Every structure is written in structure tokens, then in C-alpha cells.
Structure 1
Amino acid sequence: MADHHEVLVIGGGNAGISLAARLRRYKVADIGLIEPRTTHYFQPLFSHIGGGAARMGEATREQARVMPRGIEWIRGEAADIRPEENAVLLADGRRIGYGQLVVCPGLQKDWDGIPGLAGAMASAQVTSNYDPAMPEKTWGLVRSLRSGTAIFTQPPGPATCVDVGQKIAYMACDYWREYGVLRDIRVVLVVPTPTVFGIEDVDAVLRAKIAEYGIELHTSTSLAGVDAARRTVTLAGPDGTRELSFDLLHVVPPQSAPDWLKGTPLPAAGDASGFVEVDPESLRHRRYANVWSLGDAAATLNYKSGGALRKQVKVLARNLAAVARGSEPRERYNHYGVCPIALTRHTLLFAEFDHQYRPMPTVPWMDLAKERRWAWVLDRWIFPQVYWRLILKGRA
């Protein structure tokens, strides 16, 4: 095979870059990384940008600047995986062989999954911080709204940091309150879950903030359609459907594994979601011993977030390095997940939990699920620097 790497990584986001960098630190020599994009984003800052508390330049780097030294960047798009042949096919026809494969392409945004949503994204009143082109549009909408109805929605099913979609609702309300217009704005928050988050202590904090802002909360409800021309949404809830007009609509889109990945042998038989079938603790494929996966595209049990990914990277890198030495993988991921939720443009809480939404605090003697100023400083100012300077270099 003309192109072959001992370790081949699909995906140059947080997962792929930080894993490759850590593997280099573990003296794994021959690493190839498949990634078509030329721009790399630190997506947790998108909410702060949408709330007017950060600039897009802080969340953006050229992909070439974050690629670890000593690896080959394969600039192309994965189109198929043939595990029986130990090969990956690219969209341009190239064929790349591997000794060990790591699959971490992230999720795709299914804008067409909700009737009318894809077309509505180009309209002046609709936005999403989940699209790198739109956080600044979000801030423009928040800044200019002085009256009317603002609707913020979350989708059912798996999504990257799905509850972070609430961040912009609270930050927007804080801004509108500061400028004395919140009382003239009907704010609607739509979540698919029975409670606003799912952990009792976190729910209590969020309910108090929702009451403080006067937000109209719709639980067990999902966005079922968007009519951009009429500026209306259809919401589907326990009592059927209802239509609401809006002046600002922020959407977290439905998400799924990439379509090309769904068609490979790596998902479990009969699993239409397309997530890679791995042992959720070792992160090794259940049927192909030289295939691994982590991050959003892996069929793990945890809440999908960057905090969860950081722990997965350490586990997978150590397990893969052990296999390269001829040993058995012994590291286990503990299903940790974390969600930072800004409650104002200056305060934030951290929800830490396992795959069953049981609290899993990293600092047991301090309850991080409380509104704190220093937590916001950590999320807004410290974490971005940790990401660019340490995580992407395999050091955190």
C-alpha cells in the first residue's frame, strides 16, 4: 500500500489533535492524521462570543498551527473504512493503510433534521452558536433586540455539549436586564428533558435563574419546524404541537455521526445512529482489536463534552501505547462528563456527573454546581489558554 501509518487518526478536532500530540509524547513514531479543514476552532468560546464577552479571533487558529510536530497531516476527507483490509478510503480516491486506527471525526449538524431549519439559518432572525459562522451574528441579534420574543431550543438525542445551548439564553437575559429591556422581551427556553438539566442541585440553581429572568420554560418539548418567512416555530410537547412567533431564534441543531461513518462496519449491527461500537471504558472497538474511538463519534455512555474528551484522550493514548509495546490495555475511562453553564455574562456553574447523571465532582469538598464569578473567569479566560497551550500539545 502506497500510504500506510502505524497509527492513523481520523479527525483533526480536539480529540484527534490532543491524542496525536500525547501519542508523540509517548514515543509513538509513525502517526498520520486525516483532516480536510484548514481552520481549527475552540468551540466552548462560541457562547461567550454570542453573548458579547469574547471575540472570534480568540477561538480560531489555522489548522497548520495546531498540528503536532512529527505527524503527517493527510489533507483529505474520510469516505469509508475497511477494517478487514486495515484501510481508510478518502473522498478523492486515496487509500491509506494502518496498523492501529483511531476514529474521532466528531458529529455532523443535521440542519435538515427539522423542517424549515436549514433554510431559516440564512434569515436575519435565526442563529446558532453551533455554527462557526454565526456566534457574531448571535451577538448582533442579542444586542439589537429591544422587545418581542426570543426563543432558545435544544434538540433531543446526542449532541455536543447540548445543555451549553442554555448559556446564550441566560447571557442574553443578563444583557437585556442590564440595559433595561428584559421586561419587554418574552424569553422562551425549550428543552426535550423532563427537567431543565437532569441533576437535582443543578436544576435548583437553573430554576432560580429562570424565575429571576422571567423565562418561560417548556420541558419535554422539541422544535418540530421553522417557518422563517412567517417568523414562527412549531413546538412539539406532551400536549401536542403549538406555534409561536419569534423575533430572535437560537437553535442547537440535531446532531448525529457523519453519514459516511454510518455506512462503515464500525457501528453496532442495527444501530442507525452510526456511532463507533467501542467498549465504553477501554475505548477499543468490540470487534476490531486495532480500531479505537473517542469523543463525540464514539458509542460511549458519557455526556459528550470537551471535559469528558480530555479524560478519554489520556485513557486511549495509554492503552494504544501499551498495545504498541505488546502489552494489554489496562486504562479505563470512568464515564466522567462536565457542562459549564454561564448564568450571567460574569458568573457560571460547572455541572460534573457520570453517565447516569450522578454527581462526580473533581473537587469533592467544593460544590462547583453553584453560581460563581471565579468559575466564569476559568471558563472564559483560563480554559482557552489551557486549550491552545496545553491540551492540543498533549500536556493536559
Structure 2
Amino acid sequence: MNAKKLSEEVSVSPQIMPADIAAIAAQGFKTIVCNRPDGEGTDQPLFAEIEAAARAAGLSVRYIPVSTGKVTDEDAAAFGDALSQMPKPVLAYCRTGTRSTTLWALSEGARRPAAEIAERAKAAGYDVSGVLSRISNKGLIDTDHPVASHDIVIVGGGAAGAAVAASLLRRRPNLDIAVIEPAETHYYQPGWTMVGGGVFQKEETAKAMGAVLPRRVTWIKAAVAGFEPEANCVVIEGCRTIRYKHLVVCPGIKLNWDGVEGLSQTLGKNGVTSNYRYDLAPYTWELVRSLRSGRAIFTQPPMPIKCAGAPQKAMYLAADHWLRKKCLKDIDIGFYNAGGVLFGVADYVPALMEYVKRYDVTLNFNHTLLAVDGPAKKAWFKKAGADGAAETIETSFDMIHVCPPQQAPDFVRSSPLADTAGWVDVDPATLRHKRYPNIFGLGDASNTPNAKTAAAARKQAPVCAENILFDMGLGSALCAYDGYGSCPLTVERGKIVLAEFCYGGKLAPSFPKYIIDGMQPSRAAWILKERILPPIYWKAMLKGREWMARPKVMA
């Protein structure tokens, strides 16, 4: 925990963890204010976890969530009211501390000179010049005076963002590229299924962001607040702007934990877990190992989601462990899927159904998780009937693995770049934005109708790089993305059904059948997933080495 003092009464901090609460109390703080909405990051503890730890330590706590860069006058007023009412001193936190500092600056605007606010914020390590400009500009964002300008700006330093930056620099090493990414850690998220299955350690899936991004890019450690495409500007936290000539939007996907009632309050305890969070995947394995009898539930929300096969991967690995420990006969497994089929590409369903039968899984289609009561070990689902009618189904559990509902990040959904569903609106082949020709999008936040997987980003990144360079007059031809996605379905420890497909569910195997027959579970596919794909991710995809991912020129 790294608290920075803004005044005698208020300090700010980047994200805190429940384990930090004792130290916070020891430093004399009386109140904790959370300004970060749940679900912004995959390694982010939920507010309910912070609240429980704070109250146990005798601290007051207040939740004033503000989406990145969306600080309103009403938010500032609520923050000021909280400061006037809560015991002092107060520690406010968000992802980096910038939102909390912005709220403080706006709430202090009527009481302190602007120069003093700027000086105090600067001493704490925060730039509020954009905030003060907003105040003087009557709430409007100043796009005439950006804090930086770059030829190419990439929003997001995850799999898609790091890969497209590396692909661009492999082709043109002297490009002026900036990556806007607030996170300090980069995660190999496909590995979390293996962590939840006891195969990987979670630490194997994480590296420092600075060690992953190409050395020749400018890393802007800030969160994006919005877009001003008419002015060729990205708005970052603190009401500051970054100007671009070409923009690449790939910020990933938002996990909406609050989309299921009661889920935030019970995650990581009471038998409630999810491989969709870095710190919870080990808890999945803990639950699997400790369960010897009872009821285990695995859920899948409505599409689209990140890695559509991940919910059932967790189920198969758990069931295989119970089978090997000879206790499967005492465990009732239920798979509750909001959709109507086991897997979206029908060719792979027969192989998966063999495992459904082996593990005696009860399939419940058209069931959407509504609420979870961890202490009571109960869950409620909305069951949709063929006639359109719906009913609420209650069930008990001893263990439940939840895949949360998912959507595009808030700053994308509310932006001019979004389609009607909130996703970045791009051409599915060229990945160019449909309305703004100098903007491209890829990865989980785009509306391309492919599986949202790292494998898709691996194929999209070179296409995006080639097409940006072509648009800049530095490339020879436009390239096309064919919708490739891959889902290595871990049906048992040591075997995988390797699903590979393009737009429209067309099969797209990477290997001859005598090496890997994707229609059948195989040891070779497991070796690919366990031993080959992680180094390909770290040492090839994120370094611009496009093994089996060279883009195809448009016909």
C-alpha cells in the first residue's frame, strides 16, 4: 500500500488489497473510500472483500465507484459529502489513485486556489492540469492542448495490444507508438484454466507489464476515459488528452461480477469460485481437491464471453480429478448454460458428449444465473422455455464455479466508436472502424463475430499491423482476418479436444490429422496446450514472431 497525502485529512492510493487493511489501520487512517467499480481488472478484489476486512479492523468504509475518466460534478459532490461525514483521516483509492485525486481536486475547487490544488496533487505524484482545465473550460475536454502526440496509439496492453505493437515494430522498427495501459502486470489468461485444474501455478501466468511491452514503445500508465475521434484524441484519466494519427482499440472485456446478485459478496469463499480471476483460480483447485461428495455446479452466461469453452473446461478437469480419486460417484455435477447448445461449433459436440456421459454431468440449457447466496449454498437461475416463458429455478451446491456475464468496457460502450451493443464497430475482415478510417480494433472488445480467445488475437494482430502500414503508405496490400479462433477443450488431465474454426463455424485445423485430430481428444493437443502454447505466447506472439499467423492478402 502506497498512500500519498493530499491534505491533512485525505490521502490517496492505488488499488489496495484486503491484506493491506491492518497496515492501513496501523497508520492511523479511520476511513477507507473506494472509487473503483468492481470488475475493472482480473486481479482486482471486489469492494465487498475490502469492506469486510475494513469493518473487521474497526474502520469506516464508503463505496463511491466512478468509471475511469467519468468523474461528474455529482461524483465530486458525493466525495466531498463523504469527507465531511466520515472519521478522519481518510484513505481514498482507485486503480492508480488518479480518480480519487480528481474527485478531491473537484471537491476542493471552491475552497482552495487552483495553484494550491495542482501543487498538492503534483507533490503526491498526480497531474491534475486536465482537471483544472476542465473546470475553467466549463466541463469541456480540452482537445487543443494534448499532453502528448504519437503516430500510432494503442489502447490496451493485453494480448491484442502487446501483439499488435510487436507486429508493427517487426515491420517498421522506427514507428512512433504509444501503448496506453494502467496495469502493472500482464497475464496469460488462457493458463488460468490450468491453474484451476492444478496443472499450473498462478505465478506462471503473470509477468511485469514493462517486461512484456516492446522496448521501443512509449508506455502511458493511465486508464482511458473516452474517445474524441473527430479531434483524433484519446481522453485519459485526469481529463488529459493524447493525440494520434492512427488509433488501435483493444482494451479487452469487462467482467460484470455485479450482474449476478450476491456474487460479489461471496466470491472466494463459501465454495464460490471462478477461473476468470487470477487470484481465484487457485481456490478452484482447492475446492476440487477438498470435495469428496456433494453437488458441484458450473455456469456459463449469455454470449459473448471470453473463451466460450472455459466454463466447461473447468468442469471436465474437476470431474476427471474426482474420477481418478474414485469419488465421482458421490458427486452430482450440473452444467448450467444460458445458451441452448454445449458448444457453438457442432462438429466438436460428439467428442464432448462422450465426456459428459463419462462424468455423468447433468446438462441444463437455457439457464441463466441470477443470484448466489454463498452462506446458504444456494443459487437461482432463470430458465427460458421454448414458448418464451421463464421461470426461476433454485438449486443447492457444495461448490459452484461461476463464469460472470461480460461486456465491453464502459468507456467503449459509451463512446462514438461503439455499435448498438457497445462493442468497437469494425469491419470483420480488415479490422478497420466502419466510421473512422484511421481507427482499428481487435481483441475481445471488437464486434467481429469470432470466438474471443488469445488465438484470435494472435491472428488479428498481424492483419491489423499490415493494414495500418498500408494506410500510412508503408505497406503493399490490405490483409484480411478470416475469423480464426481456437479453443483447446481440456476434457481430462492429459487430453484435449482442439477446436479450431473460422467465421461461420468453418473448421480450420492447424495440423494434419495424423499429428492432431481436433475432432478427437488427444495427448498431442494436451502437450501443445501445456508445454508449447505458453512459450509461443510469451516469446513469439508478444514479440512479433508470427509463427503460423502470417496474414493473408485480401483477394
Please give the secondary structure, in 1, of the residue aligned with 2:323: helix
Tell me how far 1:229 sits from its aligned partner. Answer: 2.5
Change in CA separation of 1:355 and 1:192 when aligned onto 2, cut-off 3 Å: farther
1:172-211, aligned counterparts within 5 Å? 172-211=318-357
Please give the secondary structure, in 2, of the residue aligned with 1:266: coil
Tell me how far 1:141 sits from its aligned partner. Answer: 0.7
Contact 1:164 1:340 in 2 (8 A): no
Counterpart of 1:24 (choices 169, 174, 184) is 169
Corresponding position of 1:257: 408
Counterpart of 2:418 (choices 267, 274, 291) is 267
Tell me how far 1:125 sits from its aligned partner. Answer: 0.8
Contact 1:37 1:63 in 2 (8 A): yes
Corresponding position of 1:280: 428
| Range that drifts further, 110-119 or 360-369 | 360-369
**Greater relative contact order: 1 or 2 (C-alpha under 8 angstroms, separation 6 or more)?**
1
Tell me how far 1:199 sits from its aligned partner. Answer: 2.8
1:45-64, aligned counterparts within 5 Å? 45-64=191-210
Q: Give structure 2 stretches of 5+ with no counterpart.
A: 1-145, 386-390, 547-555
Counterpart of 2:393 (choices 242, 247, 250) is 242
Contact 1:154 1:190 in 2 (8 A): yes
Please give the secondary structure, in 2, of the residue aligned with 1:223: strand
Superposed CA RMSD in Å reads 1.4
1:153-168, aligned counterparts within 5 Å? 153-168=299-314
Counterpart of 1:15 (choices 135, 157, 160) is 160
Corresponding position of 1:354: 502
Please give the secondary structure, in 1, of the residue aligned with 2:479: coil
Tell me how far apart the structure 2 counterparts of residues 267 and 317 of structure 1 sit (CA, whole Å): 21
How many percent of aligned residue pairs carry the same amino acid?
39
Counterpart of 1:142 (choices 281, 288, 292) is 288
Contact 1:197 1:203 in 2 (8 A): yes
Tell me how far 1:328 sits from its aligned partner. Answer: 7.8
Contact 1:303 1:337 in 2 (8 A): yes
1:17-96, aligned counterparts within 5 Å? 17-27=162-172, 28-96=174-242
Structure 1 position 323 matched with structure 2 position 471: yes
Contact 2:463 2:479 in 1 (8 A): yes
- Aligned residue pairs total 393
Tell me how far 1:92 sits from its aligned partner. Answer: 2.3
Contact 1:320 1:329 in 2 (8 A): no
Corresponding position of 2:377: 231
Tell me how far 1:69 sits from its aligned partner. Answer: 1.4
Tell me how far apart the structure 1 counterparts of residues 276 and 376 of structure 2 sit (CA, whole Å): 24
Structure 1 position 386 matched with structure 2 position 536: yes
AA partner of residue 214 (structure 1): D
Tell me how far apart the structure 2 counterparts of residues 267 and 198 of structure 1 sit (CA, whole Å): 25
Contact 2:192 2:275 in 1 (8 A): yes
Tell me how far apart the structure 1 counterparts of residues 225 and 238 of structure 2 sit (CA, whole Å): 9
Q: Which has the larger radius of gyration?
A: 2
AA partner of residue 188 (structure 1): G
Counterpart of 1:117 (choices 263, 274, 278) is 263
Contact 1:162 1:252 in 2 (8 A): no
Corresponding position of 1:108: 254
Structure 1 position 374 matched with structure 2 position 524: yes
AA partner of residue 392 (structure 1): L
Please give the secondary structure, in 2, of the residue aligned with 1:132: coil
Change in CA separation of 1:256 and 1:138 when aligned onto 2, cut-off 3 Å: same
TM-score normalised by length of structure 2: 0.69
Residue by residue over 1:78-117, the C-alpha shift from the partner in whole angstroms, topping out at 9 and shown as x without a partner, is 0011000100111123211000000000001001112222
Tell me how far 1:343 sits from its aligned partner. Answer: 0.7
Contact 2:302 2:368 in 1 (8 A): yes
Tell me how far apart the structure 1 counterparts of residues 254 and 147 of structure 2 sit (CA, whole Å): 30
Tell me how far 1:56 sits from its aligned partner. Answer: 1.1
Please give the secondary structure, in 1, of the residue aligned with 2:309: helix
| Range that drifts further, 232-241 or 182-191 | 232-241
Tell me how far 1:362 sits from its aligned partner. Answer: 2.6
TM-score normalised by length of structure 1: 0.96
AA partner of residue 262 (structure 1): R
Contact 1:319 1:328 in 2 (8 A): no
Please give the secondary structure, in 2, of the residue aligned with 1:190: strand
